[in-house]
Structure 1
Amino acid sequence: MPDHPPPAFVPARELIAAHGGRVTRTRVAVIEALQASPHPLSHDEIGATLAAAGIAHDRVTLYRALDWLVEQGIAQRIAGGERAWRFEIRSDGEHRHAHFHCDRCGQILCLEDVPAGPDPALPAGFELARSELVFHGACADCGREGAKAAKR
């Protein structure tokens, strides 16, 4: 499965300022981590990326930064396994593709060539904010491992 190509690059500071937010080191680092990743990241993966870059943070500050990015439409949440969210950067305010969740390793991969589908016909008075299409199964690596184990 190919990784999704990075969205059109907009510097993190510009994204934050364009949304009227306070430019903080954590927000900038989170956006840059999401922009650099070929797949959606969990809170822990983002935290590890920040720690590896020497950026001090705590869990609450990171959650607040992610919540703000989602509220502003800069990033989006994707339901992952074990009630954990994964996050990815949005491009052009939209990120309309399906995702694949590997039930074996927990990885979530972007399926850029698979559209998330058309907006559903909702009853009168309903307003769609967002939708997700997530496929579940075994990724290519886990599928190969399962096939090897079955041959033994």
Structure 2
Amino acid sequence: MTQFSTEQAARHLLLQARGRVTPARLGVLSILLDADVALSHQEIEHTALQQGCAFDRVTLYRALDWLVEQRVAHKIAGADRTWRYNAQAGTPHQHAHFHCKHCEQVFCLENLQPALLFSLPPGYQVEQVELNLQGCCPSCAGKV
């Protein structure tokens, strides 16, 4: 996405979440929307600095927490015990994550086939499903 369309998309998602469009929320969500992989707090902070947006750590954490609470983003616990964040542009978090053991990146995998099917005993209600796969991503596969 271009910066202009990414910022517009981020602004639209923030308004849909009925939240204030603060510079931190807008900047962080724009970074997440532009990312091809889930990003750590440090990677988001670094990208923000490169783009000329300087947020202190507390503001960044608060923005990320709010985005997750509003389901505009989701967070993923990496195998290295680092939280990574990804934009969730209005879609429910019902997909798998792939952690590359070589480059340490985490990718969201949508529409895996066959789809995960299961039935729960009566009375149970699913709110979230997490499926974490580990291995080698396509970029690293050629290097191994």
Give TM-score scaled by structure 1 length.
Answer: 0.78
Shift of 1:144: 2.8
Measure, in 2, the Cα distance between the counterparts of 1:118 and 1:129: 14
Partner of 2:110: 112
User: Is 2:43 aligned against 1:45?
Assistant: yes
User: In the alignment, is the contact (CA less than 8 A) between 2:93 and 2:128 conserved in 1?
Assistant: no
Partner of 1:27: 25
User: In the alignment, is the contact (CA less than 8 A) between 2:71 and 2:90 conserved in 1?
Assistant: no
Where has structure 1 moved over 6 Å in runs of 4 or more?
none
Unaligned runs of 5+ in 2: 1-6
Partner of 2:74: 76
Paired residue total: 139
Alignment of 1:93-108 (within 5 A): 93-108=91-106
SS of corresponding position for 1:62: helix
User: In the alignment, is the contact (CA less than 8 A) between 1:116 and 1:132 conserved in 2?
Assistant: no
User: Is 2:61 aligned against 1:66?
Assistant: no
- Give per-residue Cα distances to partners, 1:20-55, cap 9 Å, x unaligned: 212110100111111111121111111111111111
Measure, in 2, the Cα distance between the counterparts of 1:42 and 1:116: 29
User: In the alignment, is the contact (CA less than 8 A) between 2:31 and 2:44 conserved in 1?
Assistant: yes
Once superposed, what is the RMSD of the aligned Cα atoms?
Answer: 2.4
- Give per-residue Cα distances to partners, 1:42-69, cap 9 Å, x unaligned: 1111111111111121111111111111
Shift of 1:107: 0.8
CA pair 54-116 structure 1, distance change in 2 beyond 3 A: farther
Percent of residue pairs identical: 43
CA pair 65-72 structure 1, distance change in 2 beyond 3 A: same
